[in-house]
Amino acid sequence: MANTAEVTQQAIDYTQRIPNNVDLANDRALQRALERWQPAFLSWWGETGPENTANLEVYLRTAVSVDRDGWANFGYVRMPEYRWGIFLTPRDEGRNIHFGDQRGQPAWQDVPGEYRSPLRRIIVTQGDTEPASVEQQRLLGATCPSLYDLRNLFQVNVEEGRHLWAMVYLLHRYFGRDGREEAEALLQRRSGDANNPRILTAFNEKTSHWLAYYMFTFFTDRDGKFQLAALAESAFDPLARTTRFMLTEEAHHMFIGESGVARILQRTCEAMSQNKFTDPAQVRAQGVIDFDTLQKFVNFHYSATLDLFGSEISSNAASYYTGGLKGRFSEANLKDNHSLTEDFYAVQEVAGGEIVARQVPALTALNARLRDDFTREIQAGLDRWNRIPEKFGIPIRLKLPHAGFHRKIGSFAGHYITPDGRVISKEDWERQSPAWLPTDQDHAFVNSLMGRVIEPGQFANWIAPPARGINNLPIEFEYVRFN
Ligand SMILES: [Fe+2]
Ligand SMILES: [Fe+2]
């Protein structure tokens, strides 16, 4: 019988108003509550989702199963008709808690009373980022560099909408009235709104053009990956199962960012090597984005994303770990006793005008550790980007700034730190930071390149075509139909 249970959990019931693999039809109260939330979600989408897109037909993937192979179906969809639903990876009946104080005990199928409030806070904070990014990207469609890119933008948008569903399901199913109120509030906050902003700062920044968008999907969606991976270890099994399935969708978002910046670099390097230009002004005059500008955007998006990991030293992070709510990245593969009570971890901070390393109890440094895991993966991505100028024989490389650069949260906040990790005065920062972070003029230059290219197979001048199309289709496929 175990097999039958597994089959029903992997198949998604698409005959329901809300597609799901959580047997919603047998929980009428929950079904009714979610069916009441659904129209509010759709009006949120209409109001703050991608602008002027209700009638477009977009070649999108939709989850049809939570099976590892063949979970997605591709076809033309009008976005308001996208089948947002509730998809959890199948339950592993024998799953135990594998870190913290309750290691070895069965994973929880319900929320223990004592963890109700921190778990709700974790779920709401994660949930809030999902609609926020859709809001941030609302206007990008008007300046897309190709139909291929436009389709990818919309794919990310509908999936972030689905990630909101994933968190709202948990709130409705496990948190009673409080959960329902939180689910409504998730549709009321707005990215960048002075009175009712999104919870985290990076999700209130503008994503005003496609360079910012690719950087955002490379850096900030990857923060999402690391947060989800830590929650996928959770003792609260429904949270672990829903975040596991979200991670399968997240991979494509990061691919868009990494390949987007790589394609920009490709065009920049082509223009530089054809014309033997090195002066940024000459490079810009070719209608492509110069390295100095790209470096400033790396500096901005990396530092803004590091703030999402929270304070390096955090007693909340320690209690989430000890309680089994949130693990480390790849917790199951780490070879230690998964309690961290005796361990130490090195964190950096400013002391006496310089940056020093300090050993602290590992339990309190879990945010720093997750951030360091993230940085390793980001650095590997930069190394792949840097092969492009290398191939062209251009001796310029993109570099990550120091972790203390341009930080608003944690031990570096309130200090002025250069990209190479020197502590400087406020005056020096104000004089030099326009060389390190995108200025209004830099944004204006990038915006001047943004047009709207919607002929199939055509690409804006500042970005190279991708290596291949979506779902093995040709690059010139009509990924979006305008009717
Ligand atoms: Fe997401
Ligand atoms: Fe994402």
3-state secondary structure of 287: coil
CA dihedral 359, 363, 369, 370 (to 10 degrees): -170
Cα–ligand 2 centroid distance for 249 (angstroms): 7
Chain centre distance of CA 472: 25
Q: At what angle do helices 116-136 and 176-188 cross, to 10 degrees?
A: 20
Cα–ligand 1 centroid distance for 421 (angstroms): 32
Nearest to 289 by CA among 168, 70, 461: 461
Cα–ligand 2 centroid distance for 221 (angstroms): 5
| 221 in Cβ contact with 254 (< 8 Å) | yes
In CATH, what number is assigned to the domain containing residue 252?
1.10.620.20
Total domains, the chain: 1
Longest pairwise C-alpha distance within the chain? 70
**Exposed/middle/buried for residue 86 (C-beta within 10 Å: 0-12, 13-18, 19+):** buried
Percent of the chain with pLDDT over 90: 92
The whole-number pLDDT of residue 9 equals 58
Cα–ligand 2 centroid distance for 139 (angstroms): 17
Cα–ligand 2 centroid distance for 408 (angstroms): 23
* Closest listed ligand to the CA of 221: 2
Alpha-carbon distance of 290 to 274, in angstroms, equals 14
Cα–ligand 1 centroid distance for 285 (angstroms): 37
Cα–ligand 1 centroid distance for 122 (angstroms): 14
**pTM beyond 0.85:** yes
Cα–ligand 1 centroid distance for 79 (angstroms): 17
* Closest listed ligand to the CA of 137: 2
Alpha-carbon distance of 84 to 93, in angstroms, equals 27
The whole-number pLDDT of residue 10 equals 63
| 216 in Cβ contact with 258 (< 8 Å) | no
Cα–ligand 2 centroid distance for 223 (angstroms): 9
Helix or strand holding residue 211 (H, E) = helix 210-215
How do strand 354-361 and strand 480-481 relate by DSSP bridges? unpaired
Alpha-carbon distance of 426 to 434, in angstroms, equals 13
Nearest to 45 by CA among 238, 187, 208, 205: 187
Cα–ligand 2 centroid distance for 407 (angstroms): 23
Cα–ligand 1 centroid distance for 230 (angstroms): 14
Alpha-carbon distance of 224 to 479, in angstroms, equals 27
Spell out where 118-256 has E strands: none
* Closest listed ligand to the CA of 167: 1
**Exposed/middle/buried for residue 161 (C-beta within 10 Å: 0-12, 13-18, 19+):** buried
Q: In the chain, which stretches have pLDDT less than 50? A: 1-8
* Closest listed ligand to the CA of 127: 1
Match 């209409």 to its residue by tokens: 46
Chain centre distance of CA 116: 25
Cα–ligand 2 centroid distance for 127 (angstroms): 11
Cα–ligand 1 centroid distance for 130 (angstroms): 5
The whole-number pLDDT of residue 64 equals 80
Q: What is the 3-state secondary structure (H, E, C) of 27-87?
A: CHHHHHHHHHHHHHHHHHHHHHCCCCCCCCEEEEEEECECCCCCCEEEEEEEHHHCCCCEC
| 184 in Cβ contact with 37 (< 8 Å) | yes
Cα–ligand 2 centroid distance for 49 (angstroms): 15
Cα–ligand 2 centroid distance for 190 (angstroms): 18
**Number of Cβ within a 10 Å radius of residue 96:** 12
Cα–ligand 1 centroid distance for 224 (angstroms): 6
* Closest listed ligand to the CA of 160: 1
Match 């792949």 to its residue by tokens: 384
CA distances from 236 to 167, 243, 326 (A): 13, 11, 9
Instruction: Residue 148: give the domain boundaries.
Output: 2-481
Cα–ligand 2 centroid distance for 256 (angstroms): 10
